[in-house]
Every structure is written in structure tokens, then in C-alpha cells.
Amino acid sequence: MSAQESRGGRGALVGAAFLMATSAIGPGFLTQTAVFTGELGASFGFAILASIAIDLVAQLAIWRTILAAGRPAQDVANSVVPGLGTLLALLVAFGGLAFNIGNLAGAGLGLEALLGLDPRLGAALSAGFAVSLFLSREAGRAMDRVAQALGVLMLALMAWVAFSSGPPVGEALARSVMPERIDPLAIVTIVGGTVGGYITFAGAHRLQESGARGESGVALATRSALLGIGVASAMRALLFLAALGVVVGGVTIAAAANPAAAVFESAAGASGRRLFGLVMWSAAITSVVGCAYTSVSFVRTLRPSFAGATRPMLLAFVALSAAIFLVVGKPVKVLVLAGALNGLILPLGLAAMLLASRRSALALPRMLEALAWIVTLAMGAMGGVTLFRELPKLVGS
């Protein structure tokens, strides 16, 4: 074990991994997985498998490059093309703010199902909880502990629900590699929700903040990224299996008002709604924290005066997200546009990291670099098509 790891490297490794993993499992992911499983059945396993493969390549390439450079992603991008990092930071911040409104809405819905609270009150209380974390004396450690505790809780609950639903595991495995139907929209949606936007950079920035960098930092980043991907992938697979078991049992969850809640209620009976509320709130609040932290980690380098105002910026980010939700509700246009832009953040950021890695003494392995360029081109094409398709709707609405 290196000296760096002996000074808390293991804690930083686990904390960064769970921050990324829990950020990737938000309210939107729960709903999307239930809906697509209802529509595609066991063949949706192919989309899950594809998202895991893309996640693996993108996360490893980005984390290793950031830790090798010893600088945040936006500074690395600016070193490749002046202004590119600033553009990346603005896209991440805009998308993060828009989606944090949705995360708080999900937290409100979770507390409604769990405790019977009004969703707006639940969202306000959840925002207060996030603020209390950032106000704590050791905010980074508190954030890590909450992400780890709620991440383990979600895994345990999802494992129990998946077991209770009795899914056809053999069929799920077979259709994951030989699907009867492939839906590109399902792949793009799941990839965008679990790797897009701020999520890819969340763990890397947290790990870097702990002091990891250089050769030992790259090794730490690789292990942390693999752990985070493993946790997130397990959660995806368990939710898919739970939904599949319900679908095979004859329940039409795709048409339900709340497809994810229908999975829990069908699998766990009377207690299913409260279990759904607990998982939904856990997924939402960890996404609120991860989104706020990562978005601010990008914005605080835009101006020298921002560098010493991290905590006020975190509080303002959460407060603004909550205020917009409480006053306006979900701003549909902003969310749709943010979703379209979100699809471009991954290829833009990944391309910048790949170009920067060429200048580093710790270059990426050739196979990883080649696969990362394939992911960049594929996600860039799909993100561009999505943006082109959505902008006319926004202009005409």
C-alpha cells in the first residue's frame, strides 16, 4: 500500500465510487428501467448490458486522465482547446440545475409514498437535508458516508424485491446477449441517465479533492471507478430483474401511472409502496448531493473569486433548484433542452480527456483509448440526433 493510500486512500476510493454510483441511480433511472422492461421484457437486458459496457469505457478513460493530470476536467479541457473547458462547465452546470429540479421532485414523491407527506413539503425537507450535509464541519466525509449508507440500503432493498418478484433469470441472461428486439432509444436513454452530464465526472472530482493524483492516483482511480461501476451495475440489474418478474407475472407496468411504484407494489405486496418510497427518496437525495457537488466543482474554477466560495455555491445551487420546483414545478422546456444537451456532454468531455491523455506521461492503454473513441463517436452521433429532434419541438411549443 502506498503512502497516499495509507492516508485515507481507501476511504477516498470507496467514497468516490459510491458518489458516482448513487448519482447514476436517480428517480429518472428507476422510472425508465420499469417502463422499458414493461415494453421490451427480457430483451431490455441488452440495453442494460450495453450501458454497462459504455459506462466502463467512459468512466475508466475519464477518471484516469483527470487523476493523471492532477486537475479538474474543465481545466484539462481548456488545456486542449482554450474555452472548451468553460463550455463544458457551463453545460454541466445548466444540465445539473435542470435535473436537480427533477431529483428534488423525486425526493418529494419518495417521501409522499413513504410518509404520506405532500410532495412539495417532501422536496423542501429533502433540500434542507442536503444543505445540512454541506454545512457540516467535514462536508466531504459526511457526503461520502451518506452515499455509502444509502447505496448499500438501495442494493439490499432491490435485491429483496427482485427475489420476491421471481424473475426468469435464465431468460434474462439469454436475451441480454441475444435480444429478440433492440430499441436504440432505450440504450440512449439509459446511457444518458447513468453516464451523461455530471455523473461521469462526479467520482473523479471527489477522488481528486481527496489529494489523489499522479501514478498512484491513476491506480486508485481505476479501482474506485471499477467499484462504482460494479455497484451501479448491480443496482441496474436488480431493478431490471424485479421489473421483469412482475411483467412475467402478468402485470402491465408500462401503462401504470407510476411504473416503478407498480414494480414494488406488485412484488412486495402491501409494504411495497413504502419500500418504493424509501428507495425513491434514497436515489433522489444522493443524486441531489452528487449533482450539486459536481456542478459546483466545475463552476468554481470559472472565476478566481469562486474558488473560496464552494460552500455558499453549494447551498445556493440546492436552494435555487428547490425554489424553482416549489414555485414553478418542473419547467418542461428546460428539462427537455437539458436532456438533449446532456447527451452531448459525455462525447464532448470524453473527447477532450482523450486528447489531453496524449499529452500526459500516464497515457491511456491503447485498447481503452480505442474503445473510448468508439464510445465518443457513437454517443456524439446519438446525442446530435436527439438535440436536432428536440429543438424544433421547443421552438414550436
What is the residue extent of each domain of the chain? Answer: 3-396
How much is the pTM? 0.84
pLDDT tens-digit map of 258-306: 778 888 888 888 788 888 889 889 988 988 888 888 888 888 887 777 7
Residues 147 and 125: their CA atoms lie apart, in Å, by: 18
Residues 348 and 284: their CA atoms lie apart, in Å, by: 26
Q: CB of 29 within 8 A of CB of 190?
A: yes
Residues 395 and 333: their CA atoms lie apart, in Å, by: 10
How confident is residue 26, by pLDDT bands cut at 50, 70 and 90? confident
Alpha carbon of residue 70 to chain centroid: 23
pLDDT tens-digit map of 221-242: 888 888 888 888 888 898 889 8
Q: CB of 351 within 8 A of CB of 376?
A: yes
Region 212-220 average pLDDT: 76
For residue 70, is it left (φ>0), alpha (ψ between -120 and 50) or beta?
Answer: left
**Most confident segment among 133-142, 187-196, 383-392:** 133-142
Architecture of the domain made up of 3-396: Up-down Bundle (1.20)
Residues 240 and 116: their CA atoms lie apart, in Å, by: 27
Where does residue 160 rank: exposed (0-12), middle (13-18), buried (19+ CB within 10 A)?
Answer: middle
Rounded to whole angstroms, what are the CA distances from 17 to 59, 268, 276? 11, 29, 24
